[in-house]
Amino acid sequence: MAATATLSAEFLISIPKAVRDEQHWQAGQEFVFIPKGKGVLVMPVPTLEDLRGMAKGADTRGYRDREDRY
């Protein structure tokens, strides 16, 4: 999907509706801006609820614990 937006004099950009709808972004959602070469990657900051259960079933063998630190 190719969508464009213009940076305003107040340094604001409106995200096109097609992009917001496709990504399911909502007003008030928090985003992080990650510089990538001459561009920037815009990613929504996940909520704790989004992260809950992410590591379920992960293999913890060989996990370095605090006991093996200095």
Residue 14 forms part of a structural domain: no
Name the band, by pLDDT with cuts 50, 70 and 90, for residue 53: confident
Residue 26 forms part of a structural domain: yes
Residue 69 forms part of a structural domain: no
Give the burial string for 48-67 (b: 16+ CB within 10 Å, else e).
eeeeeeeeeeeeeeeeeeee
pLDDT, tens digit, 9 for 90 and up, residues 23-40: 999 999 999 999 999 999
Q: Is the dihedral of CA 36, 41, 2, 15 positive or negative?
A: negative
pLDDT at 56: 87
Q: Is 37 left (phi over 0), alpha (psi -120 to 50) or beta?
A: left
- 70/65 Cα distance (integer angstroms): 11
Asked if residue 67 has pLDDT above 90, the reply is no
pTM of this prediction?
Answer: 0.64
Residue 65 forms part of a structural domain: no
Number of domains within the chain: 1
pLDDT at 68: 63
Q: What is the domain extent for residue 32?
A: 20-47
Mean pLDDT score, 32-51: 93
Residue 24 forms part of a structural domain: yes
Q: Would you say 34 and 40 are in contact if contact means Cβ atoms under 8 Å apart?
A: yes
Residue 41 forms part of a structural domain: yes
Residue 6 forms part of a structural domain: no
Residue 29 forms part of a structural domain: yes
